[in-house]
Amino acid sequence: MANTSGKAITEMVIIKEKEKRRSFWKVFKRQKTLYMMSLPFVVWVFIFNYLPVWGWTMAFQNFRPGKSFFEQEWVGLEHFITLFTDERFFMALRNTLAMSLMGLVVGFTVPILFAVLINEVRHSFFKRTVQTVTYLPHFVSWVVVAGIVTKMLSIDGGIVNDLLLRLGVIEKPFQFMAQETWFWGIVTVSDLWKEMGWNAIIFLAAIAGLDPQLYEAAKVDGAGRLRRIWHVTLPGIRPTILVVLILNIGHLVSIGFEKQMLLGNSLVLDYSEVLDLYALNYGIGLGQFSYGTAIGIFNSVVSIILLFLANGIFKRFSNQSVM
Amino acid sequence: MVTKKKLMDSMMKERVFDIINCLFLIIVMVVTLYPFLNVLAISLNESTDTVRGGIYVWPREFTLNNYLEIMKYDNLVTGFINSVLRTVIGTILGVFAQAMVAFTLSRADFQGRKFVSTFLVLTMYFSGGLIPGYMLIRDLGLMNSFWVYILPGLVSAFNIIIIRSFMDGLPFSLQESAKMDGANDFTIFYRIILPLCKPVLATIALFVAVGQWNSWFDTYLFNSMNENLTTLQYELMKILDNTSMGGNVDANQMRPNEQQQNQVSPESIKMAITMVTVIPIMLVYPFVQRYFIQGMTLGAVKQ
């Protein structure tokens, strides 16, 4: 008896599953236009975003182009061992971390300050003008920005040298772009010049969302401008500040290479080569595809670890998660 | 009496704060604008005179010759045409594709929704990296082809999410009535939803267009062998030549090359080319700033 009912139940489950499958195809047929509108792009994304991850296998082979996957020679972790014994790798790692940390500290705090100051302007035309002007560099390419920075810092006719000479700070023109030790700073300041206004937008939006009554109350209590900024504005946008901070930490290692590549030159190479450039030089410049891929994997793994770490810390502090 | 004095005192303080703040912001504006004005002034100055230096925000010997001169550079003209083409084609195709996918994701009744959405969003958190990406493009035969500018970045998960969240705000009843009349889903998307999404599509289009106009690295990596496929930004990069990209590869060849470039293109010519790449953005920027900010705040909320 129990046996037959058990059988019946299994049969029912099978029938139900069949029905489900049938109804899946039924709905599929009915919604075929919707499928046709999205599935091609799923394939698209699979090709351009998912397939490259398969390329990570190259890091464990001595990849030779032209050979099929099964003919490649597998070498295990050999490339990673070479990587961790290469002096240039640690140099690139140092440069990446240094520039991303400087970028994080400066590129994160200054826009907050800038947003607060813009918010304190009462004259609305002036306020809008400041915003329009400072957002502009964001839309200009790094090629142009690198050109501009080089021009401004150049020894013949660069405004920075001109000003310093006139003020008597220096006696003869200073070659900024040729100084190894100045490179990190130049990258950080260029980035700040390009993105400060733009990065302030998100904080300005957050400030605009604050309750004006808070300011009124603070005013009644006799709080001056600075006190209102400190006790009302900044605590009010704290959640936004935290989210942006976490996201920036997640991007710490993947800072890209555009600025370093465009601003750098052979004189400052030891301070300008970041991990991505190192991968590019070996992987494509020298044709060592496997080695280049190993560098890329290291880069990805570190940034994922950092993102999770930052998110974990954030969760502990605010019971919120960004991811 | 005391309170009055206190009030005056605090008003003075507010004044001082305002003045310092305004001064600071004016300095920031000058620092932001000066380089552009300087580049413009030099580009409008007689190139032999520029060498004497001392050009700040106004040309000393005004001329348009530099601009006429750069029109003779074949690569620049080709680059300009290609940059315009990639911006126009890439923006139209990209926005259309992204809006279409966003539409299917905004349909609560679409049974593949969960799968498609997860599949797309995951791409925001990982990437194969530089070398595997390069190998893929090579294997697909996209090297030395115009389509390498358009195809790889066509479907952006981030943009799709922004468009979709806008579509979620539209009433579903619009679609239902159209369906009663026998319209299929593509017609509904094309005829009804797309026109209603104009604000968000304008924003996305601008982001895509600026990205297309400004990119140079794909040309450098995939199409640097083929002069017919060059882009304006890449040509500018070559002419400004601040790079030492090769590092170990061509560090030695850098120096003579740089000198050569300097001889071929005087300062004023370089600046004129810079202006040509910046002007299109400057021209549209004031009109579209509103959309950019909308997109930025929308994106920030979604993050």
Cα separation of B150 and B91, whole Å?
9
- Asked if A28 is an interface residue toward chain B (Cβ–Cβ < 8 A), one would say yes
Cα separation of B280 and A226, whole Å?
41
Q: Provide the β-strand partners of residue B45.
A: B62
B101 band by pLDDT with thresholds 50, 70 and 90: very high
Which residue of B lies nearest to A115 if distances are taken between CA atoms? B25
Question: Contacts of residue A205 in chain B, CB cutoff 8 Å?
Answer: 297, 300
SS3 of A73, please?
strand
Cα separation of A266 and A276, whole Å?
17
Question: Cβ B245–A261 below 8 Å, yes or no?
Answer: yes
Identify the pLDDT of residue B259. Answer: 43
Question: Cβ B243–A261 below 8 Å, yes or no?
Answer: yes
Q: Which of A20, A36, A41, A220 is best to mutate for the B interface (most B CBs within 10 A)?
A: A41
Query: What is the average per-residue pLDDT within B227-231?
Result: 92
| Cα end-to-end span (Å), chain A | 53
How confident is the prediction for chain A on average, in pLDDT?
86
B255 band by pLDDT with thresholds 50, 70 and 90: very low
Using CB atoms, which residue from B115, B237, B244 is nearest to A266?
B244
What distance in Å separates residue B140's CA from the closest CA in chain A? 10
Number of other CB atoms surrounding residue A81 within 10 Å: 12
Using CB atoms, which residue from A39, A49, A280 is nearest to B130?
A280
Domain edges within chain B: 2-50, 65-302
| Cα end-to-end span (Å), chain B | 54
A299 has a pLDDT exceeding 80: yes
Q: Which of B137, B244, B279 is best to mutate for the A interface (most A CBs within 10 A)?
A: B244
A97 has a pLDDT exceeding 50: yes
Q: Say which range, A80-94, B93-107, B262-276, has the weakest mean pLDDT.
A: B262-276
Q: Which of A24, A42, A49 is best to mutate for the B interface (most B CBs within 10 A)?
A: A49
Q: Which residue has the tokens 């370093």?
A: A260
Q: Chains A, B: CB contacts under 8 A, how many?
A: 271
Using CB atoms, which residue from A31, A120, A247 is nearest to B21?
A120
Question: Cβ A49–B128 below 8 Å, yes or no?
Answer: yes
Question: Which residues between 135 and 194 in chain B have a beta carbon less than 8 angstroms from any beta carbon of chain A?
Answer: 135-136, 140, 151-152, 154-155, 157, 184-186, 189
B261 has a pLDDT exceeding 90: no
* CATH architecture for the domain at B65-302: Orthogonal Bundle (1.10)
Burial A145-174 (b: 16+ CB within 10 A, else e): bbbbbbbbbbeebbbbbbeeeeeeeeeebb
Question: Contacts of residue A141 in chain B, CB cutoff 8 Å?
Answer: 213-216, 233, 277
Number of other CB atoms surrounding residue A234 within 10 Å: 15
Task: Give the burial class of B250: count Cβ atoms within 10 A of its Cβ; 0-12 exposed, 13-18 middle, 19 or more buried.
Answer: middle
A189 has a pLDDT exceeding 90: yes
Percent of chain A with pLDDT over 90: 28
Stronger pLDDT, A7 or A122, i.e. the higher one: A122
Among residues A48, A210, A245, the alpha carbon closest in space to that of B303 is found at A245
Q: Say which range, A90-94, B124-128, B139-143, B241-245, has the weakest mean pLDDT.
A: B241-245
Residue A240 neighbours by CB under 8 Å, 6+ apart = A202, A203, A206
B262 has a pLDDT exceeding 60: no
A160 has a pLDDT exceeding 60: yes
A168 has a pLDDT exceeding 90: no
Identify the pLDDT of residue B88. Answer: 95
B207 band by pLDDT with thresholds 50, 70 and 90: confident
∠ CA A309-A315-A321, nearest 5°, is 95
Which residue of B lies nearest to A123 if distances are taken between CA atoms? B22
How confident is the prediction for chain B on average, in pLDDT?
84
Query: How does pLDDT run across A104-128, given as a tens digit for each residue?
Result: 899 889 999 999 999 999 888 999 8
Among residues A209, A267, A265, A263, the alpha carbon closest in space to that of A238 is found at A209
Cα separation of B262 and B254, whole Å?
12
Using CB atoms, which residue from A134, A277, A279 is nearest to B32?
A134
A308 has a pLDDT exceeding 90: no
Q: Which residue has the tokens 């905004």?
A: B106
ipTM of the complex: 0.84
Among residues A191, A207, A211, A81, the alpha carbon closest in space to that of A140 is found at A191
Identify the pLDDT of residue A183. Answer: 93
Query: What is the average per-residue pLDDT within B243-247?
Result: 35
Stronger pLDDT, B252 or A218, i.e. the higher one: A218
∠ CA B182-B184-B187, nearest 5°, is 110
Identify the pLDDT of residue B242. Answer: 46
Query: What is the average per-residue pLDDT within A50-56?
Result: 89
How many residues appear in chain B? 303
Question: Can you point out the beta strands (E) in chain A?
Answer: 61-62, 73-74
Using CB atoms, which residue from B22, B248, B292 is nearest to A281?
B248
Question: Can you point out the beta strands (E) in A171-284?
Answer: none
Identify the pLDDT of residue B297. Answer: 65
User: Are residues A302 and A253 in contact, defined by beta-carbon separation less than 8 angstroms?
Assistant: yes
Q: Provide the β-strand partners of residue B62.
A: B45
Identify the pLDDT of residue B278. Answer: 93
Among residues B208, B212, B228, B203, the alpha carbon closest in space to that of B86 is found at B212
Identify the pLDDT of residue A254. Answer: 67
Identify the pLDDT of residue B248. Answer: 31
Query: How does pLDDT run across A190-246, given as a tens digit for each residue?
Result: 999 999 998 898 898 889 888 889 888 988 888 888 888 999 999 999 888 888 887
Question: Contacts of residue B115 in chain A, CB cutoff 8 Å?
Answer: 42
**DSSP secondary structure code for residue A169 in this structure:** S
Cα separation of B121 and B126, whole Å?
10
Query: How does pLDDT run across B168-203, given as a tens digit for each residue?
Result: 888 888 888 888 888 888 999 999 999 988 888 988
Q: Say which range, A63-67, A148-152, B5-9, B84-88, has the weakest mean pLDDT.
A: B5-9
3-state secondary structure chain B: CHHHHHHHHHHHHHHHHHHHHHHHHHHHHHHHHHHHHHHHHHHCECHHHHCCCCCCCCCCCECCHHHHHHCCCHHHHHHHHHHHHHHHHHHHHHHHHHHHHHHHHHCCCCCCHHHHHHHHHHHHCCCCCHHHHHHHHHHCCCCCCHHHHCCCCCCCHHHHHHHHHHHCCCCCHHHHHHHHCCCCHHHHHHHHHHHHCHHHHHHHHHHHHHHHHHCCHHHHHHCCCCHHHCCHHHHHHHHHCCCCCCCCCCHHHHHHHHHHHHHHCCHHHHHHHHHHHHHHHHHHHHHHHHHHHHHHHHHHHHC
User: Are residues A298 and A83 in contact, defined by beta-carbon separation less than 8 angstroms?
Assistant: yes
A269 has a pLDDT exceeding 70: yes
B252 has a pLDDT exceeding 50: no
Identify the pLDDT of residue A253. Answer: 67
User: Are residues A291 and A283 in contact, defined by beta-carbon separation less than 8 angstroms?
Assistant: yes
- Asked if A189 is an interface residue toward chain B (Cβ–Cβ < 8 A), one would say no
A1 has a pLDDT exceeding 50: no
For residue B33 the two structure tokens come to 């604008």
Using CB atoms, which residue from A132, A141, A304 is nearest to B233?
A141
- Asked if A283 is an interface residue toward chain B (Cβ–Cβ < 8 A), one would say yes
Identify the pLDDT of residue A59. Answer: 86
Question: Which residues between 253 and 282 in chain B have a beta carbon less than 8 angstroms from any beta carbon of chain A?
Answer: 254-255, 267, 270-271, 274, 277-278, 281-282
What distance in Å separates residue A308's CA from the closest CA in chain B? 12
Query: What is the average per-residue pLDDT within A72-81?
Result: 87
A84 has a pLDDT exceeding 70: yes
SS3 of A61, please?
strand
- Asked if B99 is an interface residue toward chain A (Cβ–Cβ < 8 A), one would say no
